[in-house]
Structure 1
Amino acid sequence: MSINADIVAIIKESETIAVVGASRHKEKAAHEVPEYLQSNGYKIIPVNPFADEILGEKAVANLGKIDQGVDIIQIFRPSEETPKIVAEAVKLKPKLIWLQLGIKNEEAKKIAEEHNIPFVMDRCLMMEHTKIFGRDKNIRISEL
């Protein structure tokens, strides 16, 4: 199943992605995916209360600490945590909320939909990006 044209347009037009659960550990998808997105021109805002900096960007403890516009909020947290995160995310009025591959929650989806924010779950943003734009030289094939 492919993502719809509206979601593709948002990905193409977006500049800033807040990554909730971004990791300092290079072997984790929560590091590799934002690293890939950063290498493809997106500004990454890492959201991690246990890090000062990730991928050369100042990390913030939570979404409430973000003081700028955000186009996409990507979430790398356990499914059961996502309703609370999405409830905070909608306050930033992003164009899209994205739950990474393996993360699903219908309650979180309902919260986003109630605020008319497009919502994707259980999909890899890096994989979808490569389908839209083609493979980048920086991509780790093991992730595809």
Structure 2
Amino acid sequence: MTTTESDAWRRHLLTDPPAIHAALAALKTVAVVGIKPADTDAPAYYVPEYAQRAGYTIIPVPVYYPDMVSELGEKAYRSLRDIPVPIDIVQLFRRPADIPPHLDAILAVKPKLVFMQLGIRHEAVAETLAKAGIDVVQDHCMLVELRKMGK
């Protein structure tokens, strides 16, 4: 195997705006792991709210809110595996140390893109996802990228 073939998975690590924007433009269903309720005024609420207004379907997957049954007018699910529809994007609002426990579920639902929000990176998880053929964005804000796209 040549170096080029062994590194082919790296093409799934999206870092430049045109690649990120192309991925976001082609996808519409976003499972938000770590979504928070409106009264928190946290990015884990207002970023998916913005994406919803921009035309994305948001599927809440709360972590710290066991009583949350819906958010943004959508039914909440306890796990990615419980979501009954195909997921295009898994958006992660989790501390880097808390991302690995979600890896098996992400691989099971096979989204086209995993989007780690601004300040969130996990190189080992990103590599595993990329090697599985899943595009990965790390340390970017979806709201900022959507605004750059004019959404």
Task: Please say whether Structure 1 and Structure 2 have the same fold, judged by a TM-score greater than 0.5.
Answer: yes
Which residue number in structure 1 is paired with residue 124 of structure 2? 107
Match of 2:27 among 9, 14, 19: 14
CA contact (8 A) 1:19 1:34 kept: yes
Which residue number in structure 2 is paired with residue 29 of structure 1? 43
Report the AA paired with residue 54 of structure 2. N
CA distance in 1, matches of 2:84, 2:148: 31
Which residue number in structure 1 is paired with residue 87 of structure 2? 70
The CA deviation at 1:84 is 2.1
Is 1:38–2:52 an aligned residue pair? yes
CA distance in 2, matches of 1:113, 1:71: 15
- Kindly report the root-mean-square deviation, in angstroms, between the aligned alpha carbons of the 2 structures: 1.5
The CA deviation at 1:88 is 1.4
SS in structure 2 at match of 1:34: helix
CA distances 1:21-77 after superposition (whole Å, capped 9, x unpaired): 011134100000000000111110000152111111110001111111111110001
Report the AA paired with residue 93 of structure 2. F
CA contact (8 A) 1:73 1:98 kept: yes
What are the equivalent positions in structure 2 for 1:72-111 lying under 5 Å apart? 72-111=89-128
Which residue number in structure 2 is paired with residue 5 of structure 1? 18
SS in structure 2 at match of 1:102: coil
Report the AA paired with residue 62 of structure 1. S
Match of 1:123 among 140, 144, 147: 140
CA contact (8 A) 1:16 1:44 kept: yes
The CA deviation at 1:4 is 4.7
Report the AA paired with residue 80 of structure 2. L
CA distances 1:74-132 after superposition (whole Å, capped 9, x unpaired): 00011111122133112111110011111111111122112011111111011011111
Flag structure 2 segments of 5+ consecutive residues without an equivalent: 1-14
SS in structure 2 at match of 1:33: helix
Report the AA paired with residue 10 of structure 1. A
Count of aligned pairs: 133
Report the AA paired with residue 55 of structure 2. G
Report the AA paired with residue 23 of structure 2. I
Which residue number in structure 1 is paired with residue 6 of structure 2? none
Flag structure 1 segments of 5+ consecutive residues without an equivalent: 135-144
Identity %: 35
